[in-house]
A and B are shown apart, each in its own frame.
Chain A
């Protein structure tokens, strides 16, 4: 009898899971359900080059390999609920879908500020439609207030400056990108942003947005008032797991998984991408979600194998799953690349090569062992430090 695997989520992790299910010989039906109307696309450019140009699906869409041509895509409809004991989900349009295996790939959504004030003119950047809406409001002379000084906020700030906007960043931290880069590198990056004309108002939050029918400014926690035509809220993200409520799962921070990406205690259910909280034996074995670009692909590959083994359709992979997280950030002409887990080495940060205001390699250590590396430029050094991270024994 033909079996059906349901993939909940039609972004990168869902696509990679479908590809790997087929590559591992699964011949049954694959149905992918996504709340966005778009076929899977690559999100990082949405705060970088795609935002600087015209934001189109074509520019960011993942190519569909022939092997996944027969996947059924149910797009534009969220999943309302799941009954894992029965093996079925209910979609928001009322349709019910039974499955033999389930891949949880519903990802994250941006947190919104609870701040009072008008809603129009306030943006987030997660989806293609978000980026399109923001792009429409950006332009020369636009007064842009970025709330949040993490990577997304700083990328949007840089892109908005390149488009000629007047940009202010407000955040509670003392330096941008403090987590995970640390104070010194964060401060060095702040100086570079300031040289490009970005203004930082740090150590404060927004207490109210001002304006009548759309945002015209903001009042900050220290009483400062500033004018703004556009607000970008880049204040972190929340897991899309509400549809799994009522199944007895630990959903306190994403979906708790074992090292093989099996949702804890549930054969035939796996999770992939940034919603999956899994232990990584490369580090301390504590289960964590990882919001790095490389993780959907790495987790999907392993989760597909685990799922097929649970369904008696393939062999399990006995090797520990120990991915090396990787992400990058482009800000102006700076290429920032991160390998490993800098956040786990935040108490012992050393400049390994170069200098903080030029090209630099920064190492993050735990118990004296290198656990993460961030490079600005220095492409010729990438291979060496990456190899060192791959070799490094797990910290105690």
Chain B
């Protein structure tokens, strides 16, 4: 599963971290970092993260 975050749109709200902590994290500078190639078993969690993103910056590409 390929996860894409539009970093021009992302404002580091970090809501995605609560839905899919295996994929999304807020680093020590307060910026979002994520695992682009994530395991298929995390699809539901990443979809949930995409739903709750205030800026709607997260997509699953395949």
Decide if B51 touches A328 in the complex (CB within 8 Å): no
Decide if A297 touches B54 in the complex (CB within 8 Å): no
Given contacts A63-B59, A328-B13, contact A294 B52 (CB under 8 A): yes
Q: Is A337 an interface residue (CB 8 A)?
A: yes
Contacts of B52 in A (CB 8 A): 294, 297, 326
Contacts of B17 in A (CB 8 A): 383
CA distance A297 to B52 in the complex (A): 8
CA distance A323 to B32 in the complex (A): 24
| A20 nearest CB neighbor, chain B only | B51
Given contacts A16-B51, A297-B51, contact A382 B14 (CB under 8 A): yes
CA distance A173 to B56 in the complex (A): 34
Decide if B54 touches A380 in the complex (CB within 8 Å): no
Looking at chain B, what size class is its interface with the partner chain? 10 to 19
Find A379's partner among B14, B55, B59 (CB 8 Å cutoff): B14
Decide if A379 touches B56 in the complex (CB within 8 Å): no
Per-residue CB contact flags for chain B residues 37-62 toward chain A (1 = under 8 Å, else 0) read 00000000000000110111001000
| A301 nearest CB neighbor, chain B only | B51
Decide if A328 touches B54 in the complex (CB within 8 Å): yes
B interface majority secondary structure:
loop
Decide if A62 touches B54 in the complex (CB within 8 Å): no
Contacts of A45 in B (CB 8 A): 55
Decide if A386 touches B26 in the complex (CB within 8 Å): no
| B18 nearest CB neighbor, chain A only | A386
CA distance A217 to B13 in the complex (A): 38
CA distance A337 to B13 in the complex (A): 9
Decide if B26 touches A293 in the complex (CB within 8 Å): no
CA distance A42 to B12 in the complex (A): 17
CA distance A337 to B55 in the complex (A): 14
CA distance A326 to B16 in the complex (A): 13
Q: Is A44 an interface residue (CB 8 A)?
A: yes
Decide if B12 touches A379 in the complex (CB within 8 Å): yes
Contacts of B59 in A (CB 8 A): 63
Contacts of A42 in B (CB 8 A): 56
CA distance A116 to B11 in the complex (A): 41
Distance from B17 Cβ to chain A, minimum over Cβ atoms (Å):
7
Decide if B26 touches A379 in the complex (CB within 8 Å): yes
Decide if B14 touches A44 in the complex (CB within 8 Å): no
| B12 nearest CB neighbor, chain A only | A379
CA distance A335 to B54 in the complex (A): 12
Given contacts A293-B54, A337-B13, contact A380 B26 (CB under 8 A): yes
23 A-B residue pairs with CB within 8 Å: A16-B51, A45-B55, A62-B56, A63-B56, A63-B59, A297-B51, A297-B52, A326-B15, A326-B52, A328-B13, A328-B54, A330-B11, A335-B11, A335-B13, A379-B12, A379-B14, A379-B30, A380-B28, A380-B30, A382-B14, A383-B14, A383-B26, A386-B18
Residues of A within 8 A of B (CB): 16, 42, 44-45, 62-63, 293-294, 297, 326, 328, 330, 335, 337, 379-380, 382-383, 386
- Give me the 6 closest cross-chain CB pairs, A-B, nearest first: A379-B30, A297-B51, A42-B56, A382-B14, A328-B54, A379-B26
